[in-house]
Amino acid sequence: MKDLKISSQIFTSTLSLLDGYTDANMPALDYLSSNENKFLCQEEEYESVVETFLTVIQRRHFLTDVANYFYCLGKRRTRSDQNSLIILIHLTVSVLDDNNKDGMISILHMETLKKAVNFLKFFNRRSIEEDLFLAGCQYFEENYVLQNMILNMRENKVLLKEMLAYFEQELESTREDTQRKLTVPVSPRLNFSYRSPPPPCNTPMEKKLQSPKSVPRSTYFNPKINNVLKSLQEKNKEQSQQALNFANESFSKFSESVKNVQHHSCSCDKTEPVAPPRRVIKVDLKKDVPIRKNAATILREASRVMKEEEREIQRVNDLMSGAANYMKYEELVEQIRISEQQAQLEELEKKHLQGQLTREEAILARQALLEANKARKAQFDLEKKETEEFLKQMRQNHEEKMKEMIEKTQQIQKNITEKKKNIINEKQKIAQEVTETSRQLYEAAVLKHKEELEKRIEIIKEIKALASLKDLQETKFDPTETMNIGLLCEMSLIELYERLQINRASLEEEIKNRQMCIRKQRRKQQQFLIETEQFIESCRQQKKLINNMVAEKHKLNKVKQESPDITELREKLQKARLKRLEIQ
């Protein structure tokens, strides 16, 4: 099947033949002889069209099951293009090859880009081989399905991925960047007419409509929450980028040592000595975390530094008074720790060399196993040819029986279609009668509703006319007049204004005095915090100098030595590699 050609003309001619064959009641060979006019291709492509048409009809039940499963995954209801989809499935499963790649792309260009991408995604799923095997075993034998369908799919995995990437790139290029326009804020409608409450008595606005308050400008401004969120997102992004750069730098340092070991194991010159144990690079994870400076943190840090100084002074005083010196004890403990660390590194190197030895031995065993499998495969091929000849005879007998059954079923299907048409015509007549009765009832209900609305509109007009006849009278306002003749100690508006001005002046003086006191206290606190910060920084610099001196002493004391066991393992590994190269 792989020797066949694929082109758009072959596809269109097979599709036209398949569309006509669904309504015909005759075998496939007779149908081809009677419909030679539907061949829309050249004479060189006649054989490929005939062969694809016959194989599609032979595997039609299998291909329809696969097409229905494709529709179910895509949740599609319309299945008008089922015949074209069946031909495409047959071409991808059993005909597609590196030589036919361009022809398959030209066929898929006949469909829309979105359909082509969905079709290729269906065949790039992980479970496609299992689905095809289960569907094929319902109609064919297992060996036939494996040879003619699944082996071809396994060979064409890379080709299908390349085609999918090609069509996805074309689909993205056709898409236009449709960005929504910015929404223009529209001011709300605030001139609603409503009944205002009555004003207080003895005021200039008595017996007048209150003027509506002006809308503040702050209602039209955008809220500050969005700006704050954007600034926080940018800060988080910068911090995460810094952490990622630090992790990548540390990973590159670790990976350089691993690459050197792998390059040494895979190099051509296998007689060179094995590289020394890889150096473990320590990353300083205990960095100073940036802390937000405020009064509490500065005072807390200063108290901690003072306590450490007091402890150090106490220790020096104890030594001066004649206490024992424990510095030699600390040096001995450090030497023991270094020796234990070297022993652990030697054990790790031994395990690494032992693992490489086992790998070389496994490669030698694998080569011996491959030679045994080749002999078994030759015996299996002989048995396979004998079984295939026997199966061909069985299939020919089975196809003759199936042709007779198909002719009978096609006659039954014709009778069923005629009965369905009669039933549909009767249902359409009943539906037309029901629609006419419902239309008449709906028109009568609409007329009643219109009459009720007209009556309500007339009543509303009368009410509005009565409300507009309200008399508006104006009265003069006297600001020196008091309410209720001053019986309950009421005051006039002029007296109230005078009292307000006196109270405002007294409050302003109090506020100024308080502000001066607060400023003085803040200056004192700031000066105290600056002095504490300077003290803490001086202590930190002294501590760094001491730590650097101690680290230089430790570096001078470190000495690396190799054990004889490691040298023996390296010699064994070189011998095993030389054996493997001689066999290859």
Q: Which residues of 66-82 are buried (b: 16+ CB within 10 A; e: fewer)?
A: bbeebeeeeeeeeeeeb
Q: Which of 251, 266, 281 is the last residue of a domain?
A: 266
pLDDT tens for each residue of 85-112: 888 888 888 888 888 888 888 888 888 8
> Residues for the chain: how many in total?
584
**469 lies in some domain:** no
Q: Which of 109, 141, 174 is the last residue of a domain?
A: 174
Alpha-carbon distance of 245 to 238, in angstroms, equals 11
Note whether 556 and 339 are within 8 A (CB): no
pLDDT at 451 over 70: yes
HEC states along 412-457? HHHHHHHHHHHHHHHHHHHHHHHHHHHHHHHHHHHHHHHHHHHHHH
419 and 545 share a domain?
yes
The whole-model pTM stands at: 0.33
428 and 343 share a domain?
yes
Reported as a pLDDT band with limits 50, 70 and 90, residue 82 is confident
**572 lies in some domain:** yes
**14 lies in some domain:** yes
Task: Record the tokens describing residue 189, joined without a space.
Answer: 């409608």
Give the residue from 139, 148, 155, 154 showing the smallest Cα distance to 1: 148
Report the range of poorest mean pLDDT among 159-173, 192-206, 255-269: 255-269
359 and 260 share a domain?
no
Reported as a pLDDT band with limits 50, 70 and 90, residue 221 is low
Q: Scan for tokens 């017996």, then name that residue.
A: 207
Note whether 492 and 480 are within 8 A (CB): yes
Q: Scan for tokens 């001995």, then name that residue.
A: 332
336 and 456 share a domain?
yes
Span 516-520, average pLDDT: 89
Question: How many Cβ atoms are within 10 Å of 445's Cβ, its own excluded?
Answer: 8
Q: Scan for tokens 């496994």, then name that residue.
A: 362
User: Domain residues for 82?
Assistant: 8-174
pLDDT tens for each residue of 469-483: 655 444 556 667 776
403 and 539 share a domain?
yes
Note whether 473 and 207 are within 8 A (CB): yes
Provide the sign of the torsion angle of the four alpha carbons 70, 76, 77, 80, taken in this order.
Answer: negative
**446 lies in some domain:** yes
133 and 32 share a domain?
yes
449 and 553 share a domain?
yes
552 and 421 share a domain?
yes
Give the residue from 7, 574, 61, 557 showing the smallest Cα distance to 333: 557
pLDDT at 262 over 80: no
pLDDT tens for each residue of 181-194: 777 887 777 676 76
**Span between the terminal Cα atoms of the chain, in Å:** 37
Q: What is the percent of the chain where pLDDT is above 70?
A: 74
Residue 154 CB partners (closer than 8 Å, separation 6+):
129
**β strands within 71-151, DSSP E:** none
99 and 14 share a domain?
yes
Give the residue from 184, 185, 190 showing the smallest Cα distance to 216: 190
Q: What is the percent of the chain where pLDDT is above 90?
A: 0
32 and 126 share a domain?
yes
Q: Which of 249, 266, 283 is the last residue of a domain?
A: 266
**Tally of domains in the chain:** 3
**285 lies in some domain:** no
**182 lies in some domain:** no
**69 lies in some domain:** yes
In terms of pLDDT, which residue wins out, 78 or 257?
A: 78
Span 337-352, average pLDDT: 83
Contacts 24+ apart (CB under 8 A), 26-33: 27/403, 28/53, 28/54, 28/57
**433 lies in some domain:** yes
- Specify burial of residue 5 (Cβ count, 10 A radius: 0-12, 13-18, 19+): middle
